[in-house]
Structure 1
Amino acid sequence: MKKSLLLLVFFSSTFLVSAQSADQEVKAVIQTLFDGMRAKNIEMISSAFDPDAMMQTVVSNPEGSETRGNSVSDFLDRIGQTPADTQLDERILDYQIKVDGTLASAWTPYEFYVNETFSHCGVNSFQLVKKSEGWKIVFIIDTRRKEGCK
């Protein structure tokens, strides 16, 4: 009985450590994306994405919502063309991460600032896949609003 209980505790703690490790790895990829954006470091940003990644934004209007797509290469071009004196700062407020093997989902409420001036807030929903080179973002969809923040 004691041996069974010890094995159960060992495997439970091993699973918990493994899950926490995956959560931290996923969080690190997302942080790399936004650290790269703040630094306008295209290589750093690119390293967070799968080559076939997709990006979308939910746009709300009186008739309902629609989505608008954006390629990662267009996103990288916009970051690269940002004037040197313009600081883009997406501040993640929380990380809610779920992992099942090599698939992860992260829900990250955020506030976005341009040169320390509040621009908008919303939520990012990330889908990541663990590849041979590590976790990569394969899909992002976000919301954006100016009201109801904080």
Structure 2
Amino acid sequence: MKKILTTLLLCFAMSLMAQQNEKEEILKVVNQVFEAMRTNDSTLLKQCFVASPNTFTAFINQEGESVLSKGEFQKFINAVGQPKEQVWDEPIWNEKVEIDGNLASVWVDYAFYVDDQFSHCGVDAFHLIKQEEGWKIFHLVDTRRRSGCEIPDEIKP
């Protein structure tokens, strides 16, 4: 009985370690997106995504209506890769990662800064698929708001 219990505990511990490693790999991809934005590296950005990902922004317009705006991934790549004097910084916190086989979902709070100037905050929601070359983002949606942002002090510039 003792051997069975030890074996079960060992299997459980190994399973938890494997899942933690997967979560780290997934968050590495997500963090590379923000590194690419900070450094104007469109090549790094493209490496994080499948060939034709879907991108959206959900927000409330000035009339108080709920809007879902479809993005154009190539425009995002071009904007990130464009040389600029300002730094686009999007620190994240409160990361939640869910995994089922080759599908993962990541939900993070973020604040967006141009240099040290606050622009907006919201949530980024990523869907990733595990392929031969690793985890890739196939769907990204974010929310955007300028008020009601509870940004942790360690995130603020």
Q: Name the TM tier (shorter chain).
A: over 0.9
Matched AA of 1:113: Y
Structure 2: which 5+ runs fail to align? 151-157
Q: Which amino acid aligns with 2:73?
A: V
Contact (CA 8 Å) 1:87, 1:115: kept in 2 or not?
Answer: yes
Please give the per-residue CA displacement for 1:52-100, whole angstroms capped at 9, x wherever unaligned: 21110002134531211112211011122352x1110011122110111
1:71 corresponds to: 72
For structure 1, list consecutive stretches of 5 or more residues without a partner in the other structure. Answer: none
Contact 1:110–1:124 under 8 Å retained in 2: yes
Q: Which residue of 1 aligns with 2:93?
A: 93
Contact 2:58 2:69 (8 Å CA) reproduced: yes
In the other structure, the counterpart of 1:147 is 147
In the alignment, structure 1 residue 108 sits paired with structure 2 residue 108: yes
Q: Distance in 2 between matches of 1:80 and 1:43?
A: 8
Question: Corresponding residue for 1:8?
Answer: 8
The 2-side partners of 1:71 and 1:98 are apart by: 26
Q: Tell me, in whole angstroms, the C-alpha distance in 2 between the residues paired with 1:6 and 1:91.
A: 42
CA-atom RMSD, angstroms?
Answer: 1.1
What corresponds to 2:122 in structure 1?
Answer: 122
Query: Does structure 1 retain, via aligned residues, the 8 Å contact 2:36–2:80?
Result: no
Query: Structure 1: which 4+ aligned runs deviate by more than 6 Å?
Result: none
Q: Partner of 2:55 in structure 1?
A: 55
Q: What TM-score, normalized to structure 1?
A: 0.95
Size of the alignment, in residue pairs? 149
2-11 or 56-65, larger mean C-alpha shift: 56-65
Distance 1:97 1:56 in 2: 20
